[in-house]
Amino acid sequence: MGARYRLTVDPIDRTIDIEEGQTILDACLREGIWLPHACGHGLCSSCKVDLVEGEVDHGRASSFALMDFERDEGKVLACSAMPRSDLRIEADIDLDPDAHCHPVRDYDGRVAAIRDLTPDIKGVWIELQGQAIAFQAGQYVNLHLPGIGTPRAFSLANPPSEDRMVELHVRKVPGGEATGYIHDTLREGDPIRLTGPYGQFFVRRSRRAPILFLAGGSGLSSPKSMILDLLEGGWDLPMTLIHGVRTAADVFMADLFADLAARHANLTYVPALSAPDDRPWSGERGFVHEVAERQFDGRFAGMTAYLCGPPAMIEASVTSLMRGRLFERDIFMERFLSAADTAGSRPRSPLFQKV
Amino acid sequence: MRMMIILPFIGIIERETTMNVQKKISLKDRYRILTRGLDWETSYQPMGKVFPDVGFEGIKIRNWDDFNDPFRLTMDAYWRFQAEKERKLYAVLDSFSQNNGQTAITDGRYVNTLKLFLTGISPDEYMAHRGFAHVGRQIPNAGLRISAQMQALDELRHAQTQIHTIGQYNKHFSGLHSFRRMHDRVWYLSVPKSFFDDAVTAGPFEYMVAIGFSFEYVLTNLLFVPFMSGAAYNGDMATVTFGFSAQSDEARHMTLGLEAIKFILEQHEDNVPIVQHWIDKWFWRGYRVLTLVAMMMDFMLPRRIMSWKDAWDIYFNDAGGALFGDLARYGITLPKYVDVPAKEVNRLSTEAWSIFYQYTHAAAFHTWLPTDQEMDWLSASYGPDWDRLYRPRFLHWRQMEKEGHRYYNNALPQLCQVCQIPMAFTEPDDPTRVAFRDTVYRGERYHFCSDGCKNIFDHEPEKYVQAWLPVHQIFQGNCGGASLDQVLDWYGIEKGVDNMDYAGSPDERTWKEWEAMRGRVAG
C-alpha cells in the first residue's frame, strides 16, 4: 500500500484521509463530501477546485479542461488529481447554516444493555468510558467489532443531550457478518470502540418549516434522536413521523412515540404495516410513501422531509414527495445500505445531487 | 458565537461559527456578494414589456430567484479560459497545416464525413448561438441570462473553430467551399437546418428544453462522439483537437440544460405537461437529424468506431434510461415513440445511405457502394435480416455499375413536412413497406414520414405549413431553374467535382497521388 496523506476541504474545514494514487474526488465522495463532478476522467472540468496547500499529480486531466495557466494558479481537477503531500483544497461546497461540524473522535465504551426490539432488531446501549460524544441528532457512528475488518455504520438513536449512553438499533441482515456478530455474540459488559459522529443528516431548524419524518424499519433511530432533540429545544411547528414496518410484530417504541404525541400537540405519530395479514390492526396499512400520500393528500409543498431507511423505501418516498411538489432542496436522507442493496440499484443521471 | 467580519468594499457580513471552527465564506456567497445588485426590476417600463417573450408559452414561474446559477463564472474568467482554448487549438491547426496533416488520414473517403459535418452541423452551431442569445435576452433572471450568454458565445466559437479546422481540408478536397450557401439551399441539408429553424423560432423556454436539454444533454453524445471518435479513428488530429476544445464547454452546457429543466418543472405543476410535449417533440426531431450520423458511422467512416446500433444502446438506452428514471420523479415519462428507434435500428443507416447513393448527382459529397468486407461488418452488426433485405440491393447496384448502368434516381422525392427527410423510410414494424402518414389541415393534405412527425405537426400546424421544402421549391421554380444543372448551380455544387461517386472523383485522384508519392518515398 502507498503512502497516506491528509486532505482538508474548505470551506467546510473537514479533514479526511487520502491515499497515494487515490483521486481527491474519490476520497471526498467516500467520506460523504459531495463535490460537483460529471465526466469523472479529466475532460469536462466540472470538478475544478482550488489547491490551497500541497502538491498533486494532475493525472489524466486534459490540457483543455485544465489549462496550463490554471495549473500555475493552483487549480486542480478533483477527479484526476492525486496527492503527493498533505493537501488543502477549497471546493464549491455550500455551508449549511445548521451544520455544527462536530469533530470526529474515537470513543471507548462498554455494552450496558442489549434488548430485543423486534424479532430481527436489537437495541444496543453503550456507555462511554471517557469523554462524552458531541453530535447532531441524525448523525451516525462507526462501530469497530472484533475480527471484522471494516467498521460498520449505525445511526445514533439517543438525543445529543444523552451524550454518555449511545443507543443503536441493529437489524440482523441475513448473512451479515457485523449484524450477525451483534445479534449472536455481543454481550452486555463487552468493551466496544466507536468513531464518530459522521454524516450530513441533521435537522435544518433554521428553515422553520413543518417536518415530515419517513422511517423504514430500523431507520427509526435517527428520527427518534431528532424528535427528542427538537422537543427538548421547544420546537413548535407541526411534525409527523411515519414509521413503516412489515407486520405488527415489527413495530417498536410505539409507546414512546404515542406518549410523546399525546403530550405534544405538534407531533403526529403514524406506524404503518406493509405486509398483509389477518391479525387485527387499527393503524395504517401500506408502504411508507403510500401512507404519506394519504396523510397529506399527496401535497407536500412547504415541508422539510427527513427520510431514513432502506434504499427501496427512500426511492419510492422521494418520488412521492416530488410528485407532491417537494423537491431536492427540501429533502434530506440517510440510506441504510447493506452489501446486497448496492447491486440492484438503478443507474442514475446527474440530474439530482443528493436525492 | 456570532462574529462580525468587516471586509473591504463589501461591508459587514455576519457569520455564525460553532465549536471555534473558522469557516471561509463559500464560493457561492462570495459570488453573490460580488454580483449583488447587477440585476434589477425595471421601474419606468413594465417588466413584461422589457421581457416580452417570456409569457406566451404558458410556462408559469412563481419565483425567478429559485434558479440556481450553477457556474458563477465572471465574464473576465470566461474570456481568459476561452482565449487559452483558442490558442491551443490554433497551435495544433498550424502544425497540422505545416505537416500536411491531411495526408495522414486513413483514406480519402473519410473527408466526406467532414463535408457532411461542415455543411450540416457547423451552420447549426451558429444557429445555436442565435438561439441562446435570444434566451439570454428574454429571461428575467441574471444567472440564467449570463449562462445563456456564455453558451451563445461558446456556440459561436464552435462554429468558427469548426470552419477553421475543417477549412484545412478545403485546400485539397472538393465540396467544402460553399458550406454556408449549401446549408441554406441543398435538399438534404434542410433536415438539420429546419431542426434549428424550428428551435430558434420557438419561445425561450421551449428553446431551453429543445436545445439546452434534449439536444445538449440527451442527444449530443450521439452526434459529437461519433464524429470526434470517427476523426480519432481515421487519423484526423485537427478535428479531434477541435473536439477536445469544444468538449470542455459541454459540461457547462449539459449542466445548464439540467438546471433549466429542473427549474421549469419545479416552478409549477402546470409546466409538466408542456415540458413533456416538448421532450416528445425534440426527442423525435433530434432522432431524425441523427439519421445522418447513423449513415456516417455505418457507411462513411473508412475505419469504423462502432455501429449505430451500439451507439444508440450506449448513449441513449443506458445514459438516457438513467436520466428518464430520474425525471420520472417529476411525472415526466420517456418520450413518445421512444420504441421506434429500437425497431428500426438495424436499417436506419442503410435506408439513408441508399437514398444518397441514388441521388449522388445532387449531393455535395461522394458516395460509394459498401465493399464485401464492409457488408460483412454490416451483417455482423445488424444480423441475418440485413443480409436478406439489403445485401441483395447493394449487390444488384454493384452489378448495374459493372454493366455500365449505374443507377440514378431522377425523380424528386416526397419530403416529410416536419423533418424534411425524403419519405423513403419504412414502417417501424415492417421493413418492406414505406411509411406514409398524412393530415388534412384547412383543405390541404400534408405528408409525414412517421407518427412522430405527424404528432408534431398536428400540435402546431400553423408553424409547419410554412415549411420551406426543397422539393416543392424546385417545382415552384425558386431554385435556379427546372434542370438538374441549374439547381446544382444554385446550390453551389460544382458538377463532376463535388457530387457523384468517389470512384473517379478529383478527391480520389488527389488521394491516389498522395499514396503514390508515399510509395515512392517508401520504395
pLDDT average, residue stretch A305-315: 94
**pLDDT of res. B19:** 43
Highest mean pLDDT among B71-85, B224-238, B396-410: B396-410
Of B23, B254, B329, the CB nearest to A11: B23
pLDDT average, residue stretch B265-277: 97
**Cβ neighbours around A13 below 10 Å, total:** 14
- The mean-pLDDT minimum among A21-35, A189-203, B343-357 falls in A21-35
Cross-chain Cβ contact B28/A319 below 8 Å: no
**Does residue B101 surpass a pLDDT of 70?**
yes
**Does residue B15 surpass a pLDDT of 50?**
no
Cross-chain Cβ contact B22/A351 below 8 Å: no
Q: What share of chain B in percent tops pLDDT 90?
A: 78
pLDDT average, residue stretch A219-239: 97
Q: B257 to each of A92, A323, B69, B216, how far by Cα in Å?
A: 20, 21, 12, 7
> Exposed e or buried b for every residue in B169-199, given b needs 16+ CB within 10 A?
bbebbbbbbbbeebbebbbbbbbbbbbbbbb
In this prediction, residue B98 has a pLDDT band, given cuts at 50, 70 and 90, of: very high
For the stretch B425-459, pLDDT in tens is 999 999 999 999 999 999 999 999 999 999 999 99
B522: amino acid identity, one letter: A
Of A46, A62, A93, the CB nearest to B255: A46
For the stretch B45-92, pLDDT in tens is 999 999 999 999 999 999 998 887 777 888 888 998 899 889 989 999
Which residue in the block uniquely carries the three cell numbers 457532411?
B116
Tally the residues of chain A.
Answer: 355
Give the residue from chain A lying closest to B67, CA to CA.
Answer: A329
Is residue A65 within 8 angstroms of chain B, CB to CB?
yes
Query: Cα–Cα distance between B228 and A16 in angstroms, integer?
Result: 39
Distance from the B241 Cα atom to the nearest Cα atom in chain A, whole angstroms: 9
Cα angle vertex B64, ends B58, B69, to 5°? 120
Beta carbon pairs, A and B, within 8 Å: 104
Output the average pLDDT for chain B: 91
Query: Which has the closest alpha carbon to B210: B149, B322, B287?
Result: B287
Query: Cα–Cα distance between B334 and B276 in angstroms, integer?
Result: 9
3-state secondary structure B7-28: ECCCEEEEEECCCCCCCCCCHH
**pLDDT of res. B4:** 37
Is residue A292 within 8 angstroms of chain B, CB to CB?
no
Does B392 sit behind a cis peptide bond, omega within 30 degrees of 0 on the bond before it? no
Contact residues on chain A for B218, CB-CB shorter than 8 A = none
- The mean-pLDDT minimum among A45-49, A210-214, B324-328 falls in A45-49
Domains parsed from chain B with CATH numbers: 75-332+358-415+469-522 (1.10.620.20)
Contacts of residue A125, Cβ cutoff 8 Å, sequence gap at least 6 = A111, A112, A113, A114, A115, A165, A166, A167
Q: A71 to each of A77, B248, B254, B318, B485, how far by Cα in Å?
A: 10, 16, 24, 34, 57
Kindly write down the DSSP assignment for every residue of B153-198, as one continuous string.
Answer: HHHHHHHHHHHHHHHHHHTTSSS-TTHHHHHHH-TTTHHHHHHHHH
Query: What is the model's pTM?
Result: 0.86
Contact residues on chain A for B333, CB-CB shorter than 8 A = none
**pLDDT of res. B312:** 94
Does A11 sit behind a cis peptide bond, omega within 30 degrees of 0 on the bond before it? yes
Give the residue from chain B lying closest to A61, CA to CA.
Answer: B248
**Does residue B12 surpass a pLDDT of 60?**
no
Is residue A279 within 8 angstroms of chain B, CB to CB?
no
Give the residue from chain A lying closest to B88, CA to CA.
Answer: A64
Is residue A341 within 8 angstroms of chain B, CB to CB?
no
Contact residues on chain A for B328, CB-CB shorter than 8 A = 319
Contacts of residue A14, Cβ cutoff 8 Å, sequence gap at least 6 = A8, A31, A33, A101
Query: Cα–Cα distance between B218 and B321 in angstroms, integer?
Result: 10
Three-state secondary-structure class, residue A288: helix
Cross-chain Cβ contact B323/A349 below 8 Å: yes
Cross-chain Cβ contact A44/B251 below 8 Å: yes
In this prediction, residue A342 has a pLDDT band, given cuts at 50, 70 and 90, of: low
**pLDDT of res. A345:** 67
DSSP category for residue A169: E
Output the average pLDDT for chain A: 91
Contact residues on chain A for B247, CB-CB shorter than 8 A = 43-44, 64-65
**Cβ neighbours around A73 below 10 Å, total:** 10
Query: Cα–Cα distance between B316 and B287 in angstroms, integer?
Result: 10
Contact residues on chain A for B26, CB-CB shorter than 8 A = 11, 92-95
Is residue A350 within 8 angstroms of chain B, CB to CB?
yes
Which grid cell is B509?
485522384
pLDDT average, residue stretch A16-27: 92
Query: Cα–Cα distance between A229 and A232 in angstroms, integer?
Result: 5
**pLDDT of res. B75:** 87
For the stretch B123-146, pLDDT in tens is 999 999 999 999 999 999 888 999
Distance from the B251 Cα atom to the nearest Cα atom in chain A, whole angstroms: 5
Yes or no: say if A9 and B21 are a contact pair by the CB < 8 Å rule: no
Tally the residues of chain B.
Answer: 523
pLDDT average, residue stretch A166-179: 93
Cα angle vertex A329, ends A325, A330, to 5°? 60
